[in-house]
């Protein structure tokens, strides 16, 4: 396979280019009996829709999800769930020039090197629209987690150099500002920051954080498939992500053992941790605390400012990229990070079912 | 599978506990005709051996690698390569107390939660000795890369808050100090920093960087199996790693598009990049620049200072961990990061062979 | 994953139920640069279309394939190829009764046991329509094989107890009779045999044979992924197949070594075999002779004759199944066997590219 | 990977050549808490040991299994189980001549074609000794099945043209004759048949049947990973197997629907089948009846009679193969077929645990 398949048990296969006929995903391995409707998918897709504020592209993408298989009488049947979103608002004309040169920060050059040629319309398979399949499948995964009492909370914690103040954290605030920040004051500063970027024909990046609560202890595998390793691979596979950390992450590299270790504590017979520097995993296995994963997202590479590059003839040229591009991709990446986290968790959940004979007997014992 | 298998094409299966009879790895998918001897493996294993300085554990681990299958007349045959290292210097008595409580920062609690019980001797499968299999297999992968003109250079770039000065970078220096730092002056400061930690019965972490040069453009898959995603998952699967970044990584989150984009430039017909903020990948595919990956490593959790925790009866207790523990694991992690990077690259190399019909015809065309 | 994914390198993910909205497949791992059009797919789908003779169901299924992604300018791009066939002629009313009881020879009972409930309309995921995805993907695989000089020839060699006479084998005849038999006289006897079955409200089975020529020596892996093992698994995964053999197959069990061994012979420097009892593989690896695989297909389980069974209340009842069912599924299975063989060969081709360093250097060497 | 890995959940990785240092297997994914000792493994290995009668090779192979990891206090820990058998009685001198020519019916030629050269000592990776890893891992799988009330019964049902009489089937008889036949009278005829082959410097093949009882309904996946498809692939991957069938198998191809369908019947509220032509699966999912799988095994290719072949210089030559070869491999294949069946069932068991949300809630629900 060439890498468009993710997950070992809750396994998804995404497909589609930005300017092809459609984009979609097939989910293989979803347990039977999960209530699932197109509205569940749509609610997630709507969170990545552009055109919701002046800080995202003005393109209108309706992006209606349709379930083509795998459900019956409102429930999953255990067979593959195929979901499709038809591309309706793509204008191929917008992108004709791109065919002739390599945009800096984009995959144009590397696609040509890998495949010998490329679908140059709007980034093709490397377009941000590729994430539609991830988000649709992530909505199914999130529904499983929710049924089991888990919850994902994902938000922007930095835009450029504007960071949220943890003291002002408000979960309710997340949906109220265009950046999905849990701090209204930071969101206002972020707006000014992005505005300045736009005026300078430039773009910016930021940080997205996902916290998963209600996770039972014991999820994840001890060696290569550590829960944090899987989360890192999943989140880093999102187009613009350049770094991933768990818990204190890079901060832990500068800490001392005495302050970085989380003490265990027993409260009325229930074992927990006093702190959560580890971000919810020990030895790659969930410890019952919240899972905390953070992603660094690079500035949008499409900018109107002039840039040097090379055309297909190998000549040095200067370009400036116009069109309806997001000055910052971070707000739209929030739901994509959440989707990848949900997919990873659902996969670990199903994988972990056979970790002990006691579980095997519970299901198959006669 | 339960996660001790890594890679899709160059596929390794590791096994072994710190205090079991042996530790090893099976490599399936290594191409036939690669010159390979036990010395190739040993050279890598020696780099992770403890007891080489006062800043690592004083345990003596001989760790002799033996190749049991897959080679003939000094070359790989295409069949699985099984490698084993017998555990000779483990003293089970050292660890008896651990059975009764959960060490903070270790996997004791999570193993018990996942499996119902655990091999409590020296961390069992979650011991640092688990990395022996990774390193032995990584040596084989590195040999393939070397045959194709690629080179891995891995070193420590921070110990606690002591960072190398990029201006003083010296590749020759790496092997000359106990921290594998490419800056002798920083290594001296690191020595003082670690000494202070030891005196405080404490431990510290740091950063490891791996740079891979000579990589052809076109490696990596466009969606979930991006080269950077695979590297992130691979490196994060190492026990103590809490964060991974590619190129500028978290720095990119605070940058602007105009400064973060790497301009393409053509020099005498060869296309390259003027800078390498991206760390060698665009859209998840190698761009011909050096691949740069950085790992954040947490402080050793085993410390002599008193810590609060819980025993198996659920009682709150205080412990202090004695024994021969590394005050900082970073120097020994250097070769492990390199091994995981080599394994990831070898896997991507083999996977990428079928990316275009032109290649398929070159091999099978008649 | 739950088993709707096939192949490791040329990897397909099928989806869809007989009475859902659509049926389809995603192909991940097809090399870039393969000329591919919807007509290539349609030509294969047309071969499994019913209603082409009085010996297959009179249902009309248009089954138009649409390519939704993965091609550009008439060639594959290396990204996933999504293909869909909308279900247009399914009449749900036909099947309402099925919900209440378990048809003998069908998957009704086992689906209920596995998933707790089922999509009872027309067999759901276990309908013969599930093979549409296999055939569409198989058409792509066959195109790759053809580009490399390989050819698949698939036909019926028995219907009930009517067998072809190998002396009368005529390749041209295959497309000229409703049973796809390479022997016109046998086809006439088969027609009479099936007619008799129909008059007795009964059904029959038969044998399908696939011969693949032009296969280079060296395809297939030596242990679990032997070429013949993969072919056997692939062909046995087709709904009605109950047995698979390679070369002389079950006949070899009764033979002696001296007659079963194929002597090697060198003719003008080219090594070949004098006979082909082995069916083209030795030690699971192709030997350059034609690959011969044969499948035993059971009689259609839906028959009008009365049968005893059990309803969902657990009561013993008698049923007789009416509707437009194939009296013999063998003719329509011919292209499905060919598709599975093509998919298996394409997968082995891509996998085998990295078998030796000489090949790796040929692609990546600098 | 190059095909020495089998299973998705209960996943094994085998390694080793006939004349290398050792042969072994790593099992990843075995649930924790299964009682397991070296004797469990040895009991299986002893069943494939040669030299037990005049009808198998006179080579003495002690084949002592050693468990190197994955157990603690007599139980599996959930981590990889590594098992090794050192090669002690191989005489390399026996095989020196083989290097220069291609033995008919062996993998010599195809290995050379695939890899460019081969370990020519005793068949290397394609030796029958390769099955040691399968059998050792199969013993672990069988232990899981046994814990859940399943039982495997495997025996020879034909040697050459000598078939057992089903009327005389005696389970106790299986272990009492050198052919593992469940019919003493057939075993006596088989002895005479093999004796005649030996006198003619020839060899013969036969049929092995495996019946698995106590299997819960609902195992297996509906599409490519049908239980019968997996069994077919698993059994066909054994070196000398040329055909596989389930239930009536090839017999079903000649039957009619009315006689081939198994009627469902309810007895005191328990649903069962009146007959078992299907061999225990419907739609690829176990139906609660016994699973019946049958393998056709070719005659041993190493025979003393003269054969024509080609040497590495491409010259036509005549050879006759001497040494200690089995005149019939069937008796020693019995336990290998059983091992592959057990591995397949264990894998399906673990995979099937997540088929419905009801199961997922039972394990993870809070």
**Stated length of chain C:** 366
Can you say whether the dihedral through the CA atoms of D115, D120, D121, D122 is positive or negative?
positive
Find the DSSP H helices in chain D: 38-48, 108-115, 131-147, 184-199, 227-236, 250-253, 257-260, 330-351, 357-364
Q: Residues A126-166: pLDDT tens digits?
A: 899 999 999 999 999 999 999 999 999 999 999 999 999 99
What is the separation of C-alpha C6 from the centre of its chain, rounded to a whole number of angstroms? 13
Average pLDDT over chain D, rounded to an integer: 94
Nearest-CA neighbor of B94 among B116, B118, B123?
A: B123
Cα–Cα distance between B204 and B327 in angstroms, integer? 7
Name the residue in chain B with its Cα closest to that of A131.
B223
Q: Which positions in chain A touch C8 (Cβ < 8 Å)? A: 1
Q: Is the pLDDT of residue C324 over 80?
A: no
- Predicted confidence (pLDDT) at residue C260 exceeds the cutoff of 90: yes
CA dihedral sign, ordered D90, D94, D98, D103 = negative
In the B/C pair of chains, how many CB contacts fall below 8 A?
A: 96
D13-35 tens-digit pLDDT: 999 999 899 999 999 999 999 99
What is the 8-class DSSP label of residue D97? G
Do the chains contact at B9 and D1, CB–CB below 8 Å? Answer: yes
**Chain B nearest CA to D302, separation (Å):** 23
pLDDT at residue D337 in the model? 98
Tokens of A214: 């209600």
Taking residues D82-111, report their average pLDDT. 85
Chain B residues inside the 8 Å CB shell of D75: 117
Residues C15, A79: C-beta atoms closer than 8 Å: yes
d(CA B342, CA B211): 11
Reported confidence tier of residue D12, pLDDT bands at 50, 70, 90: very high
Collapse the DSSP code of C27 into the 3-class scheme (helix H, G, I; strand E, B; otherwise coil) and give the result. Answer: strand
The shortest CB-CB distance from C17 to any of A17, A69, A125 is to A69
**Which chain B residue is nearest to residue A312, measuring alpha carbons?**
B271
Helix (H, G, I), strand (E, B) or coil at D291: strand
Indicate yes or no: CB of C69 within 8 angstroms of CB of A28. Answer: no
Answer yes or no: are the C-beta atoms of A61 and A128 closer than 8 Å. Answer: no
- Specify the pLDDT at position D121: 84
D142-162, pLDDT tens digit by residue?
999 999 999 999 999 999 999
pLDDT value of residue C90: 65
3-state SS of chain B: helix, strand, coil percent to 5?
35, 25, 40
Nearest residue, CB atoms, B216 vs list C8, C78, C364: C364
Angstroms from B89 CA to nearest CA on chain A: 23
Q: Report the 10 Å Cβ neighbour count for C266.
A: 16
Would you call A329 exposed, middle or buried from its count of C-beta atoms within 10 A (0-12, 13-18, 19+)? buried
- Find, in chain B, the residue whose alpha carbon is nearest to that of A107: B283
Q: Are B265 and A271 in contact (CB under 8 A)?
A: no
Q: How many CB pairs under 8 A join A and C?
A: 167
Choose, out of B31, B36, B223, the residue to mutate when testing the contact with C (most C CBs < 10 Å): B31
pLDDT tens digits, residue range C16-62? 999 899 999 999 999 999 999 999 999 999 998 865 677 766 666 67
CB–CB of C249 and D242 under 8 A? yes
Model confidence at D58: pLDDT above 70 = no
Which chains have 3+ CB pairs within 8 A of C?
Answer: A, B, D
Condensed to tens digits (0 to 9), the pLDDT of residues D232-247 reads 999 999 999 999 999 9
Confidence class for position D93, pLDDT limits 50, 70, 90:
low
pLDDT for A333 beyond 80: yes
pLDDT score recorded for residue D2: 79
Q: Which subunits have 3 or more CB–CB pairs within 8 Å of chain B?
A: A, C, D
**Sequence-separated contacts (24+) of B308-311 with Cβ below 8 Å:** B308/A263, B308/A264, B308/A265, B308/A274, B308/B104, B309/A263, B309/A264, B309/B101, B309/B102, B309/B103, B309/B104, B310/A264, B310/A265, B310/A266, B310/A271, B310/B101, B310/B102, B311/B100, B311/B101, B311/B102
Alpha carbons within 13 angstroms on the beta-carbon side of residue C319 total 23
C-alpha span between D116 and D106 (Å, rounded): 16
Write down the pLDDT at residue C323: 78
pLDDT for C325: 82
Among residues of chain C, what percentage have pLDDT more than 90?
A: 86
Q: Do D77 and B8 touch (CB under 8 A)?
A: no
Q: Rounded to whole angstroms, how far apart are CA atoms B7 and C72?
A: 30
Q: Which residues of B touch C355 (CB under 8 A)?
A: 31-32, 78
| Number of other residues whose CB lies within 10 A of the CB of residue A46 | 13
More confident residue, C47 or A122: C47
Nearest to residue C278, comparing CAs of C240, C315, C235, C245?
A: C245
Chain B residues with CB-CB distance to C9 below 8 A? 354
Give the torsion sign (CA, D198, D199, D204, D210).
negative
Taking the CA of residue D336 and the nearest CA in chain C, the distance in Å comes to: 13
* Interface contact flag, D202 C2, Cβ < 8 Å: no
CA distance A20 to chain B (A): 16
Q: What pLDDT score was predicted for residue A121?
A: 84
pTM of the predicted model over 0.90 = yes
Q: Virtual CA dihedral for B55, B56, B59, B61, nearest 10 degrees? A: -140
Q: Do D78 and A355 touch (CB under 8 A)?
A: yes
Model pLDDT, residue C366: 62
Lowest mean pLDDT among A68-72, A254-258, B320-324, D177-181: B320-324
Q: Which residue of D has its CA nearest to C111?
A: D218
The CA distance from C167 to the nearest CA of chain B, in Å, is 31
pLDDT of residue D183: 98
> Taking CB atoms and an 8 Å cutoff, what residues of chain D touch C305?
257-258
d(CA C353, CA C33): 17
Smallest Cα–Cα separation from A212: which of A294, A283, A134?
A294
Per the CB < 8 A criterion, the answer to whether B260 and B276 are in contact is no
User: Which of C15, C38, C75 has the highest number of chain A CBs within 10 A, making it the mutation to test binding with A?
Assistant: C15
| The predicted structure's pLDDT at residue B59 | 64
DSSP string, D300-346: PS--SS-EEEEBTTS-EEEE---SS--SB-HHHHHHHHHHHHHHHHH
State the smallest CA–CA distance between residue B64 and chain A in angstroms.
22
What residues contact C116, with CB distance under 8 A and at least 6 apart?
Answer: A32, A33, D356, D358
Q: What is the gyration radius of the CA atoms in chain A, in angstroms?
A: 21
Q: What is the mean pLDDT of residues D62-90?
A: 93
* D361/A216 touch (CB, cutoff 8 Å), yes or no: no
The mean pLDDT values, 10 residues at a time, for chain B of 366 residues are 91 95 97 98 90 67 91 97 90 70 95 93 88 98 98 98 97 96 98 96 98 98 97 98 98 98 95 97 98 98 95 93 88 97 98 96 87
Q: How far is the C-alpha of C331 from the C-alpha of D323, rounded, in Å?
A: 49
Q: Which ipTM was obtained for this model?
A: 0.96
- pLDDT given at position C46: 94
Neighbouring C-alpha atoms within 13 Å toward the C-beta of C234: 32
- Tokens for C116? 């707790």
Cα separation, C231 vs C333, whole angstroms = 15
State mean pLDDT over C112-139: 92
Ramachandran region of residue C49, left (φ > 0), alpha (ψ -120 to 50) or beta?
Answer: beta
Higher pLDDT, D59 or C184: C184
Beta-bridge mates of residue A316:
A310
Whole-angstrom Cα distance, residue C302 to residue C222?
A: 41
The SS3 call for residue D359 is: helix
> Token pair for residue C32?
């870039």
> Could you tell me which residue, D62 or A190, shows the higher pLDDT?
A190
| Cross-chain residue pair D246–C269, CB shorter than 8 Å | no
Give the pLDDT score at A124: 87
The Cα A28–Cα A31 span in angstroms is 9
Query: B116 and D1: CB-CB below 8 Å?
Result: no
pLDDT at D207: 98
* Cα–Cα dist C91/C109, whole Å: 22
Residue D1: predicted pLDDT: 63
Q: Work out the pLDDT band at A69, boundaries 50, 70, 90.
A: very high
A–B CB contacts, 8 A cutoff, strictly below: 408
Contact D260 C236 (CB under 8 A): no
Question: What span, in angstroms and rounded, lies between the C-alpha atoms of B161 and B174?
Answer: 19
Distance from CA of C306 to the nearest CA of D (A): 9
| Main-chain phi, psi angles of B61, to 5 degrees | -125, 110
Question: Which of A5, A11, A69 to probe the C interface (max C CBs under 10 A)?
Answer: A69
Facing D72 at nearest CB: one of B5, B16, B119: B119
Residues of C in contact with B288 (CB under 8 A): none
Q: What is the pLDDT of residue B48?
A: 86
Helix (H, G, I), strand (E, B) or coil at B246: strand
Cα A69 → chain centroid = 24
Place of tokens 């979960």: A171
Secondary structure class of D126 (helix, strand, coil): helix
- Against chain D, the chains showing at least 3 CB pairs within 8 Å are A, B, C
> Tens of pLDDT along D265-294?
999 889 999 999 999 999 999 999 999 999
Neighbours of B214 (CB within 10 A): 15
The strand pair at A151-159 and A206-213 is best described as antiparallel
Q: Are strands D151-159 and D316-319 parallel, antiparallel or unpaired?
A: unpaired
From B353's Cα to the closest Cα of chain A, the distance in A is: 10
Average pLDDT over residues A41-56: 82
Buried/exposed code over D5-19 (b: 16+ C-beta within 10 A; e: otherwise): bbbbbbbbbbbbbbb
pLDDT digits (tens, 9 = 90+) for C191-200: 999 999 999 9
Q: Among residues B215, B248, C27, which one has the least CA distance to residue A113?
A: B215
């Amino acid at each position: 396979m060439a890498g468009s398949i993710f997950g070992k048990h809750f396994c998804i296969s995404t497909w589609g280019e930005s300017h092809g006929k459609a984009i979609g995903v097939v989910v293989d391995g979803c347990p039977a009996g999960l209530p699932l409707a197109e509205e569940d998918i749509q609610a997630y897709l709507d969170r990545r829709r552009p055109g919701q504020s002046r800080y995202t592209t003005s393109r209108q993408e309706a992006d209606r999800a349709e379930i083509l298989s795998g459900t019956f009488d409102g429930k999953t049947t255990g067979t593959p769930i195929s979901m499709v979103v038809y591309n309706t608002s793509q204008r191929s004309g917008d992108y004709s020039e791109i065919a002739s040169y390599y945009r800096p920060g984009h995959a144009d050059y590397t696609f040509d090197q890998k495949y010998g040629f490329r679908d140059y319309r709007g980034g093709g398979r490397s377009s941000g629209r590729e994430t539609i399949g991830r988000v649709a499948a992530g909505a199914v995964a999130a529904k499983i987690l929710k049924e089991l009492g888990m919850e994902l909370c994902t938000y922007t914690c930095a835009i450029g150099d504007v960071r949220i103040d943890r003291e002002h954290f408000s979960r309710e605030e997340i949906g109220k500002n265009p950046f999905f920040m849990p701090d209204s004051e930071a969101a206002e500063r972020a707006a000014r920051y992005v505005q300045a970027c736009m005026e300078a024909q430039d773009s910016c990046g930021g940080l997205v954080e996902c916290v998963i609560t209600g996770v039972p202890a014991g999820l994840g595998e001890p060696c290569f498939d550590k829960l944090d390793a899987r989360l890192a691979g999943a989140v880093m596979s999102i187009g613009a992500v350049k770094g991933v950390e768990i818990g204190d992450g890079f901060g832990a590299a500068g800490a001392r053992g005495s302050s970085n270790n989380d003490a265990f504590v027993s409260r009325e017979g229930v074992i927990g941790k006093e702190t959560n520097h580890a971000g919810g995993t020990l030895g790659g296995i969930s410890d019952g605390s919240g899972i905390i994963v953070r992603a660094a997202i690079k500035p949008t590479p499409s900018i109107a400012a002039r840039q040097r590059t090379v055309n297909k003839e190998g000549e040095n040229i200067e370009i400036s990229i116009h069109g309806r591009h997001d000055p910052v991709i971070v707000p739209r990446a929030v739901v994509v990070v959440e989707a990848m986290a949900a997919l990873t968790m659902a996969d670990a959940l199903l994988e972990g079912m056979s970790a002990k004979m006691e579980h095997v007997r519970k299901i198959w014992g006669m």
